[in-house]
Chain A
Amino acid sequence: MRRKRGSKGILARRGRWGWAFVLPTLVLLGLFSVYPVVNAFYLSFFQKHLLSNAPPKFIGFGNYTYLFRSPTFWNSLTATAIFAGGAFAMLVGMSLLLAVLISSRQRFQRFLQLAFFSPAVVSTVVAAAIWLLIFDPRGIANQLVNALAGTPGVDHRWLVEPGRLQLATMLVYVWKYVGYFTIIFIAGIGTIPRSLYEAARVDGANAWQVFSRITFPLLRPTTLLVSVVAMIQCLRTFSTQYLFTQAGSPRSPIDVITLNVYYTAVRTFQIGRASALSIILFAIMLFLSWLQFRVARSEEVSYL
């Protein structure tokens, strides 16, 4: 009994060290992550001007009803859906394809991985700067398209035409992140037992059968992970759109929610409205993550 109490004393005292190690992080996260989220939620019910000293005025759901009636908000939602949907599909599809192709190679695997990963190293701002010149009226994008389509000298107005502008931002984004997800997929493929592939080859399965019956089903956990991360990543995009608008592109086709939050806060100084916008973005992210987990789970059940 006494010994037990004694050892409990030691553990309790040791436990205090656990607290001590956690505490600095906890304080910082509390102050600079948790409190701001609560604060964003709180502010979204108030009217507050960034530059005025007047205390925030409670307006209930005023900011939300304003947003739901504002065409700019719906445009923003559409722009986000188009960008995130397009970039997401391209990212996941392309990185899966690349991972399967790279894994099937005996040679150059490491070179290919590093090459595809290399754009992830340069910053998003640099990426956007490079692509701005590529999409320039005299740039390489026009030259390539004109060479392929046999239409010399045509300007496809990549940075002006709404649809092309949206495509352009997606291409920048996919360019930067595709290698990252490719590597996650390659790691996932690496965990699939080799013996399954050998058995399939003995049975005379073709490449498509191997992919659709072995690789893809067994890759489901990785696919789920990649899609959750990629979706959130795409919804968080900011720098590309910001740079494109700074360079003179029209804002509305690429006015994703993050950009709208920034401009609402910095240009119109409406802090409450910007907070409501960011809370809506957060809700969308949480909903989509939840949805993906659910879809993944129900699929798993149906296969068993």
Chain B
Amino acid sequence: MMGRRGPARGRSRVATVAVWLVLGVVLAYILGPLVFMVTASFMPAIEITRIPYRWIPQSFYWQNFWRAIRGNDGRFYFVRNMINSVVVATVITLSTVILSTMAGYGLAKFEFRGRRAVMLLIVATMMIPFQVIMIPLYLIATRMGMQDSYAGLIVPLLVNAFGVFLMRQYLLTFPNEILDAARIDGASELQILRRIVFPSSWPAMATLAILTFRSQWDNLIWPLLIAQSREMQTIPQYITLFTEEKYTDEGAMMAAAVLASLPIVILFFGLSRYFVGGARLFSAHKG
């Protein structure tokens, strides 16, 4: 393959260098800020704003992490908000995956009146951006007395149309023979769902779980509306407190950012193919 000679080979070497140059510049743009976050979290404020920035911390300044957890008021809301984030994201992920698989299975493998209408509704709902419905949703949730509660943070987001669509597309290709064979063996529909459909949908469910968990971990706008008390806030809100004008503590801010990213980074390293697979799924079902 590399058997070319003379100018052609020289040109391809130039091309390779050019490609790596471009990739290198973009790589610096992408990885630089991440490296900055981690290194700055170990530096006292004076070192973070030093010119030029030293990319290697001179010492490990652990106090940043202590202040990030303790908070400027010393009331350790970090712990509570972290727990809130974990609880909210986990519950929403579980319910999204289970309900989406159930509904996707119902839509993919059963004939019933109004199925087409339901499918149409699902696809139409997928197009609704959260920002459009957040105000009415806030009014509904407060009318149901759900402000400043786990119910308020969780219930409106228990399932989303995208998940249903995803699971339906996945289950369309599931062989009917297996389902029929189980029915002939006398399995009930619920048993089929639990023993056959759930276990064999594992890859799609894992992808949906990752996507959902990540987007919930990232969710700022809904908690901002529904959770006003510090006790019920989530980690994204906690971080915004560090960025506010009146309270700027660069080191603690980066330490909080690192701590907030830890759970998701651990998930990413363990399950990166599902993270990446989520993006690929889009192009898989485009038609």
Residue numbers of A with Cβ under 8 A of B are 11, 14-22, 24-26, 28-29, 31-37, 39-40, 43, 94, 97-98, 101-102, 104-105, 112-134, 136, 138-140, 143, 175, 178-181, 183-184, 187-188, 191, 207, 221-222, 225, 229, 232, 235-236, 238-239, 242-243, 246-248, 257-258, 261-262, 265-266, 271, 274-275, 278-279, 281-282, 285-286, 289
Contact = CB atoms under 8 A, between A and B. Distances in A.
Given A18-B107, A247-B245, A126 B23 contact: no
Interface centre among B115, B133, B140, B159 (most CB of A within 10 A): B133
A301 B280 CA distance: 27
B40 A133 contact: yes
B135 A274 contact: yes
B202 interface: no
Contacts of A187: 279-280, 283-284
A166 B57 CA distance: 31
B49 A136 contact: yes
B263 to A, nearest CB: 10
Contacts of A117: 275-276, 279
Given A122-B257, A123-B217, 10 more contacts: A17-B110, A21-B103, A21-B106, A32-B156, A35-B136, A116-B27, A133-B253, A236-B131, A239-B220, A262-B225
Nearest to A21: B106
Contact of A119 (B34, B132, B139, B221): B34
B51 interface: yes
Counting from the closest, the 8 A-B pairs by CB-CB distance are: A18-B110, A21-B106, A15-B112, A36-B133, A36-B136, A39-B136, A25-B103, A123-B218
B34 A118 contact: yes
A18 B116 CA distance: 12
Contact of A34 (B22, B99, B125, B164): B125
Interface centre among B110, B161, B214, B272 (most CB of A within 10 A): B110
A25 B218 contact: no
A130 B159 CA distance: 31
A124 B236 CA distance: 8
13 contacts: A15-B113, A22-B107, A25-B164, A37-B136, A101-B22, A117-B275, A119-B33, A126-B261, A133-B254, A183-B276, A221-B286, A221-B287, A265-B138
Interface of B: 15, 19, 22-23, 26-27, 29-34, 36-37, 40, 48-53, 99-100, 102-103, 105-107, 109-113, 115, 118, 121-122, 125, 127-140, 155-161, 164, 189, 193, 214, 217-218, 220-221, 224-225, 235-236, 239-240, 242-245, 250, 253-254, 256-257, 260-261, 264-265, 268, 272, 275-276, 279-280, 282-284, 286-287
Contacts of B276: 113-114, 117, 183
Secondary structure class of chain B's binding surface, majority of residues: helix
Contacts of A271: 135, 139
Contacts of A183: 276, 279-280
Given A123-B218, A138-B51, A15 B111 contact: yes
Contact of A243 (B112, B243, B286, B287): B243
A239 B221 contact: yes
Nearest to B251: A133
A115 B33 CA distance: 12
A247 B244 contact: yes
A281 B132 contact: yes
Contacts of B121: 26, 29, 34
Contact of B99 (A15, A25, A136, A139): A25
Contacts of B127: 285-286, 289
Given A29-B121, A123-B261, A125-B220, A18 B136 contact: no
A130 to B, nearest CB: 5
B49 A139 contact: yes
Given A11-B111, A116-B26, A121-B264, A29 B279 contact: no
B243 A33 contact: no
A239 B135 CA distance: 17
A129 B283 contact: no
Given A17-B106, A188-B283, A247-B244, A258 B131 contact: yes
Contacts of A175: 29-30, 33
A133 B109 contact: no
Contacts of B140: 31-32, 35-36, 39
Contacts of B272: 114
Contacts of B122: 29
Contact of B275 (A112, A121, A248, A281): A121
